[in-house]
Amino acid sequence: MSAGDTLDYARALPRTEPLAKRVFDIIGALLAILVFSPLFIIIAIAIRLESKGPVLFRQERYGQGRTRFRIYKFRTMRHERDAEFRQAVRGDDRITRVGRVLRRVNLDELPQLFNVLLGDMSLVGPRPHPIALDEQFGSRIDRYWDRYDVRPGITGWAQVNGFRGETDTIKKMQLRVLHDLEYLRRRSFWFDIRILLMTLVSARAYRNAF
């Protein structure tokens, strides 16, 4: 696979496919919110009982076309007002006990279903990185910014293959971006379905979660 092949394939998608994907995203997000609504309440209570601070973590990220949006996640760390960005690492003492559980089973991502409804994200696509990481690696990795040619996703091809978590070396980020570019080359409705199923049942999807 070459990066050029990735971009050519993305531009050659049928015109109806983005609309079909958007309809699928809306229906899927609404159904998931309905099914998981009791879990939203339980998680919110657990977070508030363990530590002070908001239930939701909000942070600006780049979306499609590098437009900024505010991402929502369940807060998994101690609340530190106006703290500078510092990437979470394995054994990070900022992560709460509830937060560690949420991270290991990907439940901290559930509020992003509302980002999907707002049109900022898709159910499946390249994961949006903190903007500080984008700026750190954007000029060092070839075709890095191509991953923002599409809506970012709650889950993606890189994540279900275990390329998630801490990116303390450029090699780790290169492997993640390579899988994101592969997603652009292969993306289709059925490939999205495969990724969603792998997110739920594949052991690799939980690799490097902490």
Which of 28, 36, 1 has its CA nearest to residue 193? 28
Please report which helix (H) or strand (E) contains residue 16, including its range. Answer: helix 16-50
Domain ranges of the chain: 3-201
Mean pLDDT for 23-39 is 97
The pLDDT value given to residue 54: 94
pLDDT tens digit sequence for 171-210:
999 999 999 999 999 989 899 999 999 998 887 777 766 5
Which of 38, 108, 40, 114 has its CA nearest to residue 73? 108
Mean pLDDT for 138-142 is 93
The pTM of this model reads: 0.86
Q: Identify the DSSP state of 3.
A: H
The pLDDT value given to residue 145: 96
The pLDDT value given to residue 5: 46
- What's phi and psi for 28, nearest 5 deg? -65, -40
Q: Take residue 178 and report the two structure tokens written for it.
A: 């390579």
Mean pLDDT value across the chain = 88
The pLDDT value given to residue 207: 74
